[in-house]
Structure 1
Amino acid sequence: MMLDPKSVKESLRHANLTEIIKERDRIIREIRKYEKGKIPEEEFFRDPGPDVVYYCNLSYLSEICDLIQEKIQEEQEEY
């Protein structure tokens, strides 16, 4: 089951910046795996398929990058 991109962002809202960056990096690895055609054959027969997962990951990445920006701004305001 794929999550709503806003839900992914909200699930990370209280995480620290390091944890959020780790999740961003994990999603980037998944995106690159798809773009390089390194998807195991059995994943093509799953629901949702690799195309859907890819586009969801792009949406997740966007929301997570927004959250990173918000966290950095919060840290700068504290100083």
Structure 2
Amino acid sequence: MSHRKLYEEHTTLTRGELAAELHRLANRLETGRDLDYGTGDAEITLTVPHQIHREFEIKPSKNGTTMKVDIEFQWPVSPDGQVR
């Protein structure tokens, strides 16, 4: 599987909109459903295994004018991208 980005989105949301998006992700993970993002040709669906590696990082920008929260999930896949 290549290292190219499969999906990327940048948008500004309200706190409520962000909460709704995180709730949607949490609900899909909790119920064992695939995660899907995008629409049309840009749509991607991910099958998430039962156990995943999670990284959580909070840091200010280099100039101290913004705060960044990174939440990253990782899991092993086969060369064709299928969950192991």
TM-score bucket of the superposed structures, by smaller chain: 0.3 to 0.5
- Name the one with the larger strand percent: 2
- Name the one with the larger helix percent: 1
**TM-score normalized by structure 2?**
0.33
**Higher relative contact order by CA 8 Å / sep ≥ 6: 1 or 2?**
1
**TM-score normalized by structure 1?**
0.35
